[in-house]
Amino acid sequence: MRRHQRRLLLILACVGLSACHHHSAPSPATPRLSAMAQIGAQLFHAPSLSLSGHQSCASCHDPAHAFAPADAASTALGGADGRQQGLRAVPNLTYVLSTPAFSVGPEDPHDDEGAKPVLLTHLPRSAAKQAGDLVPRGGFFWDGRADTLQGQALGPLLNPLEMGNTSLAMLVGKLKALGLPQALLPLAGPAVLRNDRLLVSEAMFAIARYETEDQRFAAFNSPYDLYLQHRGRLSAAAQRGLADFEDPKIGNCAACHPDRRQADGRPPLFTDFEYEALAVPRNRDLRVNQDPAFYDLGLCGPMRHDAEAHQSSNCGLFKTPSLRNVARRHAFFHNGVYHSLQQVLRFYAERDRHPEDIYPRDAHGRVEIYDDLPVRYRGNIDRVDAPFQAASPGLSAQQQSDIIAFLGTLSDADTSSH
Ligand code: HEC
Ligand code: HEC
């Protein structure tokens, strides 16, 4: 934090000096950004930073699609030849800047209260999670393995399936070819000309500043925001969908995707940043899944290698994503197995009621329920709460389409043309 503040002061101190603007011409798409964020914007959109020379952050995180991919692929292609298939769906980056650092602690009693009636907040959320239990929370990526935006940004640059740089030295060469040391000189001092590690860390800091300052990352101007501010109305269908989204016996969606103002009055983020095992079906379109022994277990690996990876109660758990701008997405859940909100709602409604409609059958005609989670971890699956309980009435077709209408109100007004 302190470091960020110091940087900010530096940025503010030099805003008035023409020297600061000299090397970083403001990009037309991003007015009123600090000099550091303008450098970050250029890096975010620079394909030359990838091994293939064709892929920038924006190739996967397209500003015109809430910083998610424009196409409908389950996962993105990348790497040296631009043909390596990623393991996970590309998240949209709107509102990620509100992500808290990864932690394991008592379930926050205030996490999703907001202005919610007492009735809704005191229902147990799942048998595995009672008050006082230690639960993982926060962090970037579907498995929370990066703690800061600055730390996160190095991940894709060095990931062989993404931008594919094979070493830090390779990345440094590309940053230098872009003239970055000179551009950073007025902001970070002469050490950036000599110290490669500092150069990389300043570059990642610049990207994080861009993701923090550009208003498109946190516009809070969706129809639902206007409704919360009493400046707009919801359609009758969206209004019914909102009620079902909140009702703990019907959708119960708000238990994990909080939709009311936060306790401090800030608008809702539609995620409590906690982790759940929903047991979404295995995505058989992913090449990596042709290996029957491969499982993406989220918090317990394969991408995490810390203490969390060694706890079997973490296996199969993925971070609850924000639902803001979700209607702009074309691939859903961590493995991108679904391509429409209709499919997502059907999954929530039928997973335990009609698993035969959700999971494939094996050679003997048996339904392969929870087919993307090894049997020994299936105790981690949330099975007690709505909308899952097999015994509950479930979500009718009407309720599903009403909830989808409500989710449509979470799309920000399109600011991509600014
Ligand atoms: C080839 C596609 C691709 C490229 C290029 C790419 N990303 Fe990503 N990004 C992803 C995927 C996939 C994930 C999720 C990975 C995971 O959870 O393991 C992700 C996750 C993220 C997240 C975390 C989001 C969250 O919800 O926690 C941020 C922030 C991010 N990327 C920023 C960037 C930046 C900055 C760059 C450029 C330096 C970049 N990405 C380049 C595909 C890409
Ligand atoms: C117990 C917590 C919980 C409840 C209840 C819940 N969700 Fe989720 N939701 C999650 C988690 C965790 C994921 C990510 C799971 C994964 O990818 O494996 C998710 C993912 C999603 C996604 C995909 C988003 C994306 O970017 O891929 C949508 C849409 C969604 N939820 C909508 C809903 C709706 C609508 C309801 C109510 C019918 C609901 N959720 C109830 C935890 C929950």
Q: Is the pLDDT of residue 27 over 80?
A: no
Cα 367 from Cα 373, distance rounded (Å)? 14
- The verdict on whether omega for the bond into residue 190 sits within 30 degrees of 0, i.e. cis, is no
* Ligand 1: centre distance to CA 60 (Å): 7
Best residue among 333, 337, 339, 404 to mutate for probing ligand 2's pocket (most ligand atoms within 8 Å of CB) is 333
Q: What is the mean pLDDT of residues 383-411?
A: 91
| pLDDT band with cut points at 50, 70 and 90 for residue 186 | very high
Q: Which of 56, 310, 333, 414 is nearest to 207 (CA)?
A: 56
Is any ligand 1 atom within 6 A of the Cβ of residue 218? no
Cβ atoms of 212 and 202 within 8 Å: the answer is no
Q: What is the mean pLDDT of residues 161-179?
A: 95
Q: What is the mean pLDDT of residues 38-47?
A: 97
* Ligand 1: centre distance to CA 113 (Å): 30
State in Å, rounded, how far the first CA of the chain is from the last one. 30
- Give the tokens for residue 242: 């909102």
Best residue among 39, 56, 61, 96 to mutate for probing ligand 1's pocket (most ligand atoms within 8 Å of CB) is 61
Interval 108-145: pLDDT, tens: 655 444 433 333 333 334 544 555 678 999 999 999 99
Q: How far is CA 386 from CA 74, 125, 210, 394, in A?
A: 27, 9, 39, 8
Is any ligand 2 atom within 6 A of the Cβ of residue 68? no
Count Cβ atoms within 10 A of the Cβ of residue 97 and give its class: 0-12 exposed, 13-18 middle, 19 or more buried.
middle
Pick the range with the lowest mean pLDDT from 217-221, 344-348, 385-389: 385-389
Q: Which of 108, 113, 97 is nearest to 260 (CA)?
A: 113
Interval 329-383: pLDDT, tens: 999 999 999 999 999 999 999 999 999 999 999 999 999 999 999 999 999 998 8
- Percent of the chain having pLDDT more than 70? 86
Cα 392 from Cα 244, distance rounded (Å)? 14
Q: By alpha-carbon position, which residue is closest to atom 41 of ligand 2? A: 253
Q: Is the pLDDT of residue 24 over 60?
A: no
Tokens 């317990």 sit on residue: 300
Q: What is the mean pLDDT of residues 3-18?
A: 36
**How far does CA 196 lie from the centroid of its chain?**
30
Is any ligand 2 atom within 6 A of the Cβ of residue 111? no
Cβ atoms of 300 and 312 within 8 Å: the answer is yes
Is any ligand 2 atom within 6 A of the Cβ of residue 38? no
- The whole-number pLDDT of residue 150 equals 87
69-83, 265-279, 383-397 — which one is most confidently predicted on average?
265-279
Count of C-beta atoms within a 10 Å radius of residue 8: 13
Q: Which of 195, 211, 257 is nearest to 34 (CA)?
A: 211
Q: Is the pLDDT of residue 265 over 60?
A: yes
